[in-house]
Chain A
Amino acid sequence: KAGVTQTPRYLIKTRGQQVTLSCSPISGHRSVSWYQQTPGQGLQFLFEYFSETQRNKGNFPGRFSGRQFSNSRSEMNVSTLELGDSALYLCASSPLGGSDTQYFGPGTRLTVL
């Protein structure tokens, strides 16, 4: 089976812009979780989608949003980018979410100038 894929792998944006990141889960997996990884804060949970519904959300501002499509692919969007949004954004898929094992993609490296 193919693993979790994320596009693009690298992205450079300027402050105030918005960005959309994409994640394709492992075939058959219906849950997608998103995480932000920074040197200072480590790995932090953003949100989780299951069957096109957001089931859980972390402590991030409303500028961070996401969605999931009927084929389980997911996108996350960050609006009005700030310098502090520079990070590695990771998505992970699992069959049903909850306490299922999560498998991570390679991440999207976002740099905000």
Chain B
Amino acid sequence: GENVEQHPSTLSVQEGDSAVIKCTYSDSASNYFPWYKQELGKGPQLIIDIRSNVGEKKDQRIAVTLNKTAKHFSLHITETQPEDSAVYFCAASPNQGGKLIFGQGTELSVKP
């Protein structure tokens, strides 16, 4: 079945360090992989996404890599700041009418 595994479930780093979150998907038909940041009391906010025809994408301090053969993708945040503290979700789209399959989330804590 369709499944996305996300690790770790919690991650604590010092301000200025890098953070890496990893996800693995099961449906090889998946072709779109967004990452969302969710702060307390808010809806998920898109931070970066990647499509299956690209291996890596970067936007300032945030980058995402995709390995289609291994069916895994990762989020990299460099020079972390306290305001990066939130829950991060990866997702995969099996190209089925607006459906996203989400990972279980990673609670990132950046300590000043």
Contacts and interface: CB of A to CB of B under 8 A. Distances in A.
Same complex: yes
Interface of A: 4, 31-33, 35, 42-45, 48, 50, 55-56, 58, 90, 92, 94, 97-107
Given A99-B51, A101-B34, A104-B36, A45 B101 contact: yes
Given A99-B32, A101-B49, A55 B44 contact: no
A48 B93 CA distance: 13
Interface string B3-36: 0000000000000000000000000000110101
Contacts, number: 69
Contact of B98 (A4, A43, A102, A105): A102
Given A42-B105, A104-B36, A56 B99 contact: yes
17 contacts: A35-B100, A42-B102, A48-B97, A48-B99, A56-B98, A58-B99, A97-B97, A99-B51, A101-B34, A102-B98, A104-B43, A104-B45, A104-B46, A106-B41, A106-B43, A107-B42, A107-B43
Interface residues of B, number: 26
Contacts of B73: none
B88 interface: no
B99 A103 contact: no
A90 B49 contact: no
Interface of B: 31-32, 34, 36, 41-46, 49, 51, 89, 91, 93, 95-105
Nearest to A102: B100
Nearest to A46: B99
A90 B91 CA distance: 15
